[in-house]
Amino acid sequence: MSRPITNRQREILTAIVESYISNGEPVSSGTLAQSAFANAMSSATVRHEMAELAEAGLLEQPHTSAGRIPSAEAFRLYVGQLTSAQQLSGASRADLQMHREALQAKIDTSFAGVAGASALLERTSHVLASLSSGVGLAIGAAAASDLLEHIHFSRLAPRRILAVLVTRSGMVRDRVLSLEPDSGQELSPLQLEAAANYLNTHFRGWNIDQVRRELARRLEAERNAYRQLSDASQLWSCTLPTDSVQQQSVYVDGVINLLGLPADRDRLRAMLSALEEKQRLIDLLNAYVDITEHSTRVVFNLERQDPSMAGLVLIAAPAQVSGESAVAILGPKRMDYESAINAVGYVARLLQRIDSGQMAPPAP
């Protein structure tokens, strides 16, 4: 946008954005003059101002339609003024506060009785999806600092083992292990059971990040005495790779909300494929969420980060759930921004208070 817009243009732009969010149709000057301004502003005046807004890059004309739709920059301006208290009357501020309190009460009820990092993040994605027209996202560290509750190994194929690890916080991680050809003879079901029993017996309640170091120490001291210790060490090393502290888990809910979007089939397929590839979602959130800040961020033009995200908006905030986390809504431009922004911000603050011990999870 090359120059500031006037107050009248801002008023017209706000009306266009809200009309487009409401019905998804391009807005014409005649319709706007009649519906938004009750003919207090002539159609010619509105048409002239809309032309100025289009020249400023705030309105776009789809195909041969007589109407205009807001650009990404227009949505940015709209979102930026949503929380401008000076533009609200006392009655409007009171209505906004009542709406926020009702939303927060609904969120509190949704988290009632939920405890543990994994459960909190999973519920977060569900709550944010149910409160919006988009996808609810939550990411958190797959914390190696958690405590081991139970591990189980089962044979899938030659040199391929399924490991299922359960932590005290309720996190469940499964991983398919590929054993190296030079790792020795094939591990039998009895050896797998013995390795799991050894880990569960000797390390239940241990800090997961410490198990590897202790296994290495014991293996060096007792290499010739315990074959099952060697098997357990080999399997644990594959289950929890060296960079495990950096791994993140992502929780996704509400993908069905995007199926009704007016997107062409190929773009929708790419979008849904991206949502299935959870590492891409982790990269997306990490690119736009600054854990050192505490504000909720609204990001347009996501296609610059990932072309498959064209037409979507990210509303995200950093949080703390057993380490650095993030919560977000990924949805269409046509959404209730005020509710979505308030929901993401409040959930982030709620998780932070629970994580820091300032409050217990809401009672059921």
Query: What CATH number is associated with residue 137?
Result: 3.30.450.40
Residues 117 and 256 in one domain: yes
pLDDT at residue number 113: 83
Q: How many domains is the chain built from?
A: 3
pLDDT at residue number 110: 92
pLDDT at residue number 354: 85
Residues 123 and 255 in one domain: yes
pLDDT at residue number 168: 75
Residues 274 and 307 in one domain: yes
2 in a domain, yes or no? no
HEC string for the chain: CCCCCCHHHHHHHHHHHHHHHHHCCCECHHHHHHHCCCCCCCHHHHHHHHHHHHHCCCEECCCCCCCEEECHHHHHHHHHHHCCHHHCCHHHHHHHHHHHHHHHHHHHHHCCCCCCHHHHHHHHHHHHHHCCCCEEEEEEECCCCCEEEEEEEEEEECCEEEEEEEECCCCEEEEEEECCHHHCCCCCHHHHHHHHHHHHHHHCCCEHHHHHHHHHHHHHHHCCCCHHHHHHHHHHHHHCCCCHHHCEEEEEECHHHHCCCCCCHHHHHHHHHHHHCHHHHHHHHHHHCCCCCCCCEEECCHHHCCHHHCCEEEEEEEEECCCEEEEEEEEECCCCHHHHHHHHHHHHHHHHHHHHCCCCCCCC
1 in a domain, yes or no? no
pLDDT at residue number 283: 85
Of 207, 225, 245, the residue at which a domain comes to its end is 245
Residues 240 and 277 in one domain: no
Residues 270 and 349 in one domain: yes
362 in a domain, yes or no? no
pLDDT at residue number 86: 45
Residues 227 and 96 in one domain: no
pLDDT at residue number 117: 79
- Give me the domain span that covers residue 13: 7-82
pLDDT at residue number 260: 75
Quick check: pTM over 0.75? no
Residues 122 and 41 in one domain: no
CA 36, CA 27: separation in Å to the nearest integer? 11
Residues 169 and 239 in one domain: yes
Residues 137 and 110 in one domain: yes
Show the low-confidence residues of the chain (pLDDT under 50). Answer: 86, 241-246
What is the CATH classification number for the domain harbouring 15? 1.10.10.10
Residues 225 and 238 in one domain: yes
Q: Using CA of residue 188, residue 193, residue 198, residue 204, what is the dihedral sign?
A: positive
pLDDT at residue number 75: 93
- Angle, helix 189-203 to helix 208-222, in steps of 10 degrees: 110
pLDDT at residue number 135: 92
Residues 112 and 165 in one domain: no
177 in a domain, yes or no? yes
